[in-house]
Copies of this chain bind each other. A is one copy, B any other.
């Protein structure tokens, strides 16, 4: 009988899921809208039916060894989603408990970046590593930290919120959606690089095709395309973003001394643009005992379904740790 894990990625718009084998191969996958469901109970009922239908398309009989769920503000200690701004359901949702009505299979809930870190460990570039971190660069900046072979959760399950470390102290700096000022993700994320781009467009008198795009319309894709065509200001925006990221990754090393840091997500797809300035600022910022020892790498996960892969990896990770006890 084939063994598989069920990975579920709950996003603000859609929820993707897939049955995935130990090698990371997707056996069956599908999705359901998240946005359409005002009540989480109704959403879970619909999701359960959708999964049941997907099961019929499986190539043969299958043993599901576990269910991993990645969700914004997912708390692994409690199996909850807590005050997730991007989901339609408010407050604390006891997700694992609620899903437990439908199945006896073990259910784990964590946030997207932690799931990405376990995905990197089980299927990606971190295979065999004991100490590493994954930085996810999307609309915001997420992070998952693995120390001594295990995800770092901390006291309340919320370790690894590097997007909300301070890169620029002082009250006059960039406002963050979290209510703080000068957060790393206000500089280093798809939104952050756009803000930097607008600052540069304001400060410089150099010509740039990006002067034709309004704030609401501009995406990080416009900036990477301009940079690849040689737009000086767009290149500056990438340099500035990489410089900030490298500096804070050096801080991360001074906290947890990892063997490698993986960069994941849309902003990292144009690899040289972001990796080169990040690498330079990172190596400059490292304390001498760490210099040359910490690898900065692009994620090895296939990004089309990486969140689902990561969620399923969580289930595989726990399954194998239980077996080896």
Enumerate chain A interface residues (CB-CB to B < 8 A): 73, 82-83, 130-131, 145, 147-148, 150, 152-162, 164-169, 178-180, 247, 250-252, 254-259, 285, 287-290, 293-294
Contacts and interface: CB of A to CB of B under 8 A. Distances in A.
A150 to B, nearest CB: 7
A257 B131 contact: no
Chain B CB within 10 Å, residue with most, of A160, A255, A258, A289: A255
A82 B153 CA distance: 30
B285 A155 contact: no
Nearest to A83: B289
Contacts of A153: 148, 257
Contact of A255 (B83, B145, B178): B145
Copies in the complex: 2
Contacts of A259: 155
B288 A255 contact: no
Contact of A289 (B82, B167, B247, B258): B82
A161 B287 contact: yes
A66 to B, nearest CB: 21
B285 A166 contact: yes
Contact of A162 (B83, B152, B158, B255): B255
27 contacts: A73-B289, A83-B289, A130-B155, A131-B155, A147-B147, A148-B150, A148-B152, A154-B256, A155-B257, A155-B258, A155-B294, A156-B257, A156-B289, A157-B257, A158-B289, A159-B255, A161-B257, A164-B254, A165-B251, A165-B255, A166-B250, A166-B251, A169-B247, A252-B255, A255-B255, A255-B256, A256-B256
A148 B148 CA distance: 11
A15 to B, nearest CB: 23
Contact of A256 (B150, B159, B168, B179): B159
Contacts of A157: 257
A167 B285 CA distance: 12
B159 A257 contact: yes
Contact of A254 (B130, B165, B258, B285): B165
Contacts of A150: 148
Given A166-B251, A255-B165, A290 B131 contact: no
Given A83-B289, A156-B293, 6 more contacts: A161-B289, A162-B254, A164-B287, A165-B250, A165-B254, A255-B256
